[in-house]
Amino acid sequence: MSAFRTLDQVEVAGRRVLVRLDLNVPMKDGRVTDATRIERAAPTVKELADKGAKVVVVSHYGRPKGKPDPTMSLKPLVDPLSAAVGRPVAFAEDCIGPAAAGAVGGLADGGVALLENLRFHAGEESNDPGFAAALAELCDLYVSDAFSAAHRAHASIDGVARLRPAYAGRLMQTELDALGRALESPTRPVAAVVGGAKVSTKLDLLGNLVERVDVLAIGGGMANTFLFAQGVEIGASLAERDLADTARAILQKAEAKGCDVLLAIDAVIADKLAPGVATTVVGVDAVPSGAMILDVGPATVAAMSERLATCRTLVWNGPLGAFETAPFDAGTNAVAKAAAELTDQGRLLTVAGGGDTVAALAHAGVLERFSYVSTAGGAFLEWLEGKDLPGVAVLKL
């Protein structure tokens, strides 16, 4: 990852610091039901406050379509944020204008204020220069700790960062460091595990990875498209048969770049996707016409696990089978545990994220054992696709 500005390069005491977080947390009946994102962002807020900054926290929540919506107010986050940072948090009923200015003006050094939902203004998502300028009026410095929103060129991500000195918060710094070690400057050999239902949603990702990694293991429904493209009879399995030419082109590109693509050599099949359904393990060349491939088989698990043991870096995105429905979680669980074992032994750097990945790794019981797991969905995927993220570009030296 290119060099970027961090909090180690700036004095914040007595200065107003606008901190962009992603506090889009689950809520029910006006109460936060999962404070993980708040807790992960708290160290940056606490560090700035401890150093004497006047900390102004901003975030989006939901999709209020550019106008106030009481059901999407950030006010219920005041108490959880206060608990996470260990100090009182003031609240402003707006994120710009007199209400915001009053809340910021009332902060003492070390004080923290949370401003109302950025998306209550249409100028946020349109990256309106006037809205960005109004946010900039509230601060002397800008800190981004919202990698999960870094793929959006919104006013609080891009616009205000061009009007004030901009720095990465600690969570953003950790994320960028992990991503840099995974693909920008990795220890080789590098492997990628990519799964999911459809090839069509990951064309850019696959096209980028075959140029960057040494081994690409493909699973999930998308792998069926590749098998079909190679002339394998896949029965009634989910596949995008109209993308066979595209799949073959990706395989040809991989071969030209020296990337070894791993597909299933055996599969767990059933007549339907349902809990407790009768299953059979067959070679991928022996799938009956009415059967569905729903997970990789034990021989595939062994082959993928053995190959990972020869690698030093792993990027993981997506499950290898229909993991939400037992017993079709077995393949994902087993390969994930093999990767976790290698990580525990210090033999493999494991970076994962995007889509169902967090849920799949949590289900496998290895979430805490991977080197780094990103909770960012779209931003992580766009990074895997090789795209320049607006929220990261503005932080580069």
Please identify every residue annotated as catalytic: 37, 198, 355, 378
Both tokens of 239, joined, read 């596949």
Give ∠ CA 218-392-383 in degrees, rounded to 5: 10
DSSP strand pairing (292-296 vs 266-270)? antiparallel
Residue 37: alpha-carbon gap to chain centroid: 12
Q: Residues with Cβ < 8 Å from 312, sequence gap 6 or more?
A: 186, 187, 188, 189, 190, 347, 348, 349
d(CA 143, CA 169): 6
Strand partners, 396: 4
Both tokens of 157, joined, read 């991500």
CB contact at 8 A, 212 and 219: no
To which residue do tokens 């007199």 refer? 98
- Strands (E) in 205-356, as ranges, are 215-218, 260-262, 266-270, 280-283, 292-296, 313-317, 349-353
Find, among 361, 379, 363, the residue nearest to 371 by Cα. Answer: 361
d(CA 175, CA 148): 10
Strand partners, 314: 191, 350
CB contact at 8 A, 129 and 159: yes
- My answer on whether omega of the bond before 298 falls inside 30° of 0, hence cis, is no
Both tokens of 19, joined, read 């901190």
3-state secondary structure of 262: strand
Residue 269 has phi, psi (to 5 degrees) of -120, 160
Count of CB atoms situated within 10 Å of the CB of 65: 11
Q: Residues with Cβ < 8 Å from 201, sequence gap 6 or more?
A: none
Strand partners, 295: 268
Tally helices (H) and strands (E) across the chain: 14, 17
